[in-house]
Structure 1
Amino acid sequence: MASPTEYDSIHRYYDRSFDQKNSLEEKRESIDRALFLARDLEADSILGKLMYKKSSLLFQAGDYDSLVAHHDSFLTLQSQVDGPKLKASQYYLMGYYYDQVRSDYSKAFENYSAAKSQFELAKDSSWTGKCLLLMGVIQKNQNDFFGSKETVTEALQFFKEPKDNNDMVQCYGLLATNHRKLLNFEDAIFYYAEAIKNSGSMEDRIAFENNLAATYIDDGRYEEAIVILEKIMGNTALDSTPVVYARVLDNLSYAQWLLEKKDVDASFQKALQIRKEKHDIRGQIASYTHLGEYFMEKRPHVSRAYLDTVIQLAQKIKVPRAETDALKFLMQISPENVKLRDRYIFLTDSLDAKETMVKTQFAKYKYDDKLKQESILRLEKENAEQALSAAEERSKKIMSYLGSIVLFLGLSFAIYFFGQRTKRLKERNKLAKLEATLETEADMSRRLHDDFGAGLNQTMLMVQGDMDRSKILDRLDGLYSQSRNFSREVNEVSTGGRFKDEFLEMLRFRTPNEANLFVTGVKDIDWGEMPPLSQKVLFKAIQELMINMGKHSKANMVTIGFKHTGKTMVVKYYDNGVGASKEELNAKNGLRNTEKRIQAIGGTVIFDSDKGEGFTAHIMIPF
């Protein structure tokens, strides 16, 4: 458990890792220092933030080996990371790394899938859809067009806000490409039209229009393709994008040749030259393929040279599909060439096997993700059923709640208990002990009468008034909890070897949910050597302070420090609540009782507080 000072240090170093005035190396040093200080934290919201920030800085620095190793640590500690949003961000970062840096489609898909699940748990629909879109892109690039189509269709369901428009447009474009590859030309044309209509970017619109024209070419509708491509060629935006210009020019030349057998050699060569200058290898493959097809009949040897270049480039950047396209044309030029045929068969078989493996792998990732989602839904259903069952059980507990009345009668004997306790302490300080006991008894009597008695009387009136049964049960449940808490206050304190555990359990029990408790020095005390009477007085005194804090202070931080000095135990208590004036302190019976108990065994206590400045107690007890 970190102390308040350590928490402040952790947050200070964390904030430094964002400061733009610091260098990247200084930011990394700050986040490493924050993680070191947070090494003992468990299930704390700051831990996940620290882990993700370090991943982000490692990625920015290009320290990818350390990034992968750190991610392994994240997976080990992810049960301690608070909230699915941070887990989602971490998985998304790793998906991006494997996608854009390593080109490892398998791990990229796996991490995007994990990120999607976490974003869905966080109810972030935009990022859920974005992850699905990227998964669909990977599937398309690996020729899993059916799988990609299903994934992107699912992604569209999550894009509901105006800010999601660009992602939605990309989904339309990707769906169109998938349908085009599956030869569903009408569907491809529809989705390209949707992408063009909704696109807010001129560059994207030109790309979609060019792809729409390519779809018309694939479908043999050359005139429609030429109309679109000539319109694009008149767009001045192409002047600043030579790669796009070359793509449009190459497609236009190809459509004109297919439609009219025009002499388009010069246009093909112009597009190819631009692509060479811009080092657009995929574009060069397209140009050389079109030139190979263009010269097949009139100059086969020239065609063969172009197609051989396609094969060389395809092997260089590992695009076997382009190589098979070139081999199909070469087999038409040289049908007797057995080597070409064997190479073509080998490549197609390999591609088919790889695509089958990829589809299976992607399907498994999605199936595993579905199982995780179903497991979460099943758990939620079980929790709901348990809650319903608990509600039904409440109606059966009315008889057991009657036992609380018996407990109430038993609590009356607590006064007698404190009377006997007074006798045992007489020899130490008769007068002080008697005053403390009498005030304690009076306080208990007041609380029994005012709190529990009034509540019981109100419940009886509710029964006589024939009020709603569920409200009566709720009231009885509250009385039961009240009596149980009262019993914990007055029960005998365990001493000796069991004291430490019971004392710490009391502290945890008395700490409100909205408050943070910091305890120091517990491990340095030999609690077994502390006199039993001192143990009991310490327990009751700190319990009274915790009860007072929980009821009145509205504190969100409590610190208690213990120190054994010679024959004295020193206890320093502080909370940052609303505090109290001197008059209010003197009027509190519980604090007066606490002071008298401590004085009765030869100890001292000093209370210090002002309105709005918290509450402090300095206690010294014989050890």
Structure 2
Amino acid sequence: MKIYRLLPILFICLFACKKQKVTSHPQEDINLKKAEQLFANQNDSAFYYFNIAATTSKDSLTIATSYSFMAQIQNSAGDFFGAQESATRSLKLINIKNPKHATCWASSYNELGRSSLDLKQYQLAFSYFNMALKHADDDARPVILSNKAMALQKLKQYPQSAKIYNELLLQKTKNSTQYARFLSNAAKTMWMGNAGYDAAPLLLKALNIRIKNKDDWGLNASYAHLADYYTSSRPDSALLYAKNMYQIAQKLNSADDQLEALQKLISLSPSAAVKKYFESYQRLSDSLQTARNAAKNQFAIVRYESEKSKADNLILQKENTEKRYQIIKRDVILVLGILSFIAISVIAFLWFKKRQQKMELEKQHAVQENQLKTSKKVHDVVANGLYRIMSEMENQPDIDRELIIDKIENLYEKSRDISYDKPELHQQQFNEKLSVLLTSFATSKTKVIIVGNKAALWENVNAKTQFELEHILQELMVNMKKHSEAGTVVIKFEEEENNILISYTDNGIGIADDKNFNNGLNNTVSRIDTIGGTVNFETKLEKGLKVHISFPVA
């Protein structure tokens, strides 16, 4: 249950930018005003009108305010990366030297922190909340401090988190709903930091306040905290609170909280009831993912249509300008016929200029192609090389500092020659080099098995092919490490009818049929083509991924 996303917390920060906007410019933007009204009524069209205000207004604070609200809507819909983009756009327009912009600054940084918490980037979230606090007003400050305390709790810095909650409890407030939230969070945090701490009195006190206030969101949080607290000591009580949480989450129509409650019920319920809860969990999880994807697509469509409309207006303005120009030109020619020679000269000049522009465009395309080629080399040689070194450092308990420095220096030398089309020459046997490369990706959680990598296999393979093959295998292993979550990886080498066959197999999550390859895998296919080989990705498996590579020996 994500406490920092509850409605009582949001309403303080959600209207922070709105309050600042009223004092920043005398004439209120019509689209922004309509968007705020729709937002207050939780109408889905609010995002559309905030986007119109952001793309049509000439006032920087109006635009920043609109983007900040859009970030809040995207966070609530689960579009966390989209929320970060909107909040960042808002911050780029804020002049912090202007006191009227301060509250919008705090709200936008708070949204960056919220999205980072959801993305489990807790240290980053902590930094964003600190930035928000620099210019937060008295209304927003307790909320942001509470979010900061949550980030510290996620970082397992329980004493620091509890200290913030306790300081908030000492502040005089007439808001009993907010007090109950701080009280429940403080109790949970102190218990998480000290398993022997008796958190029950404070948790139950917060629960009673929320029952009295009929605070459904608060009750949802209290039931979650009590279920967690009693899981070990009193499982029957924990089960009761988990059921209460599930009921209140259904009432609130909060899919995230329903999923959390179902997780608790699955672990606490008798075996006869587990299947029912597990099936409900699967259905709800799939439905939530579908809804979030639909929301992300809708946000993208709104922005696309806005940009397209803006581009169409620019084209129309250009056409009108050209038409006016043609009319003036015609009149001038009619009245001043004697200037026809000058007119022809002007046309010739324009043609020559257009031709120069075309030639310049061709040059730019050539430069872009060269840049793309260089980018590919940077990805394969530098980026994957650095990733490999990082992987080795991460998984070796005793790091040979000199060896790491040598590898980095070697990588530096490679980067200096990045623009030259020549394979590297190594004295080390190629089979040994491949073994070092592949095993460098092995960890305590991932086992790498190599079969058939004998020196004799590579005797007739030229240096260019070896160079390309090394980067092909390195890209497969980097992709496995980043995305597959594999526990076992098997790479098998064999020769058949003057062709070398390489079979890569892992037991990870595989690649969906409709998933587009990233730049690295696209580069892999391109490299295989250059050595006259073929590659086949088997994605229709129950689990894992199989890749078959074949290329001629010479």
**TM-score (norm. length: structure 2):** 0.52
Query: Do structure 1's residue 104 and structure 2's residue 38 form an aligned pair?
Result: no
Partner of residue 309, structure 2: 372
* 1:96 positional shift: 3.1
User: What amino acid is the match of 1:255?
Assistant: T
Cα 1:370/1:302, change in 2 over 3 Å: same
The one of 136, 140, 149 aligned to 1:204: 140
Partner of residue 65, structure 2: 130
- Secondary structure (helix, strand or coil) at the match of 2:231 reads coil
Partner of residue 296, structure 2: 359
User: What amino acid is the match of 2:32?
Assistant: Y
The one of 189, 193, 205 aligned to 1:255: 189
Q: How far, CA to CA, are the matches of 1:211 and 1:391 in structure 2? A: 63
Partner of residue 247, structure 2: 312
Cα 1:163/1:240, change in 2 over 3 Å: same
- Secondary structure (helix, strand or coil) at the match of 1:203 reads coil
* 1:373 positional shift: 2.2
The one of 255, 259, 275 aligned to 1:338: 275
The one of 250, 263, 266 aligned to 2:201: 266
Contact 2:239–2:269 (Cα < 8 Å) also in 1: no
- Secondary structure (helix, strand or coil) at the match of 2:134 reads helix
The one of 159, 169, 176 aligned to 1:223: 159
Q: How far, CA to CA, are the matches of 2:285 and 2:73 in structure 1? A: 21
Partner of residue 293, structure 1: 228
* 1:330 positional shift: 1.4
Partner of residue 373, structure 2: none
User: What amino acid is the match of 1:206?
Assistant: P
Query: Do structure 1's residue 115 and structure 2's residue 71 form an aligned pair?
Result: no
Cα 1:401/1:167, change in 2 over 3 Å: farther
1:216-615 correspondence runs (5 A): 216-236=152-172, 239-261=173-195, 262-334=197-269, 336=271, 337-382=274-319, 399-400=336-337
User: What amino acid is the match of 1:118?
Assistant: T
**TM-score (norm. length: structure 1):** 0.46
Cα 1:228/1:402, change in 2 over 3 Å: closer
Name structure 1 gaps, 5 residues minimum: 1-84, 404-623
Q: How far, CA to CA, are the matches of 2:265 and 2:157 in structure 1? A: 26
Q: How far, CA to CA, are the matches of 1:188 and 1:394 in structure 2? A: 65
The one of 179, 193, 197 aligned to 2:130: 193
C-alpha offsets along residues 506-533 of structure 1, whole Å, 9 cap, x if unaligned?
A: xxxxxxxxxxxxxxxxxxxxxxxxxxxx
C-alpha offsets along residues 385-420 of structure 1, whole Å, 9 cap, x if unaligned?
A: 6777788889867734899xxxxxxxxxxxxxxxxx
Q: How far, CA to CA, are the matches of 1:323 and 1:185 in structure 2? A: 23
Partner of residue 91, structure 1: 31
Q: How far, CA to CA, are the matches of 1:203 and 1:166 in structure 2? A: 10
Contact 2:235–2:268 (Cα < 8 Å) also in 1: yes
- Secondary structure (helix, strand or coil) at the match of 2:307 reads helix
- Secondary structure (helix, strand or coil) at the match of 2:78 reads coil
* 1:125 positional shift: 1.8
Q: How far, CA to CA, are the matches of 1:99 and 1:348 in structure 2? A: 26
Q: How far, CA to CA, are the matches of 2:299 and 2:107 in structure 1? A: 21
Q: How far, CA to CA, are the matches of 2:286 and 2:304 in structure 1? A: 27
- Secondary structure (helix, strand or coil) at the match of 2:65 reads helix
* 1:231 positional shift: 2.6
C-alpha offsets along residues 31-51 of structure 1, whole Å, 9 cap, x if unaligned?
A: xxxxxxxxxxxxxxxxxxxxx
Q: How far, CA to CA, are the matches of 2:124 and 2:323 in structure 1? A: 48
User: What amino acid is the match of 2:194?
Assistant: E
Q: Identify which range, 274-283 or 391-400, moves more after superposition.
A: 391-400
Structure with higher Rg: it is 1
The one of 60, 76, 81 aligned to 1:146: 81
Contact 2:333–2:339 (Cα < 8 Å) also in 1: no
User: What amino acid is the match of 1:369?
Assistant: S
Q: How far, CA to CA, are the matches of 2:261 and 2:322 in structure 1? A: 63
Q: How far, CA to CA, are the matches of 1:302 and 1:110 in structure 2? A: 46
Contact 2:91–2:108 (Cα < 8 Å) also in 1: yes
Q: How far, CA to CA, are the matches of 2:256 and 2:215 in structure 1? A: 17
* 1:90 positional shift: 4.2
Q: How far, CA to CA, are the matches of 1:213 and 1:395 in structure 2? A: 73
User: What amino acid is the match of 2:176?
Assistant: P
* 1:202 positional shift: 2.1
- Secondary structure (helix, strand or coil) at the match of 2:233 reads coil
* 1:95 positional shift: 2.6
* 1:312 positional shift: 1.1
- Secondary structure (helix, strand or coil) at the match of 2:140 reads helix
Q: How far, CA to CA, are the matches of 2:324 and 2:118 in structure 1? A: 51
- Secondary structure (helix, strand or coil) at the match of 2:336 reads helix
C-alpha offsets along residues 566-617 of structure 1, whole Å, 9 cap, x if unaligned?
A: xxxxxxxxxxxxxxxxxxxxxxxxxxxxxxxxxxxxxxxxxxxxxxxxxxxx
Cα 1:393/1:222, change in 2 over 3 Å: farther
Q: How far, CA to CA, are the matches of 1:150 and 1:217 in structure 2? A: 26
Q: How far, CA to CA, are the matches of 2:143 and 2:301 in structure 1? A: 33
* 1:111 positional shift: 2.4
Higher relative contact order (CA 8 A, sep 6+): 2
> Percent sequence identity over matched residues?
26
User: What amino acid is the match of 2:55?
Assistant: S
Name structure 2 gaps, 5 residues minimum: 1-25, 341-554
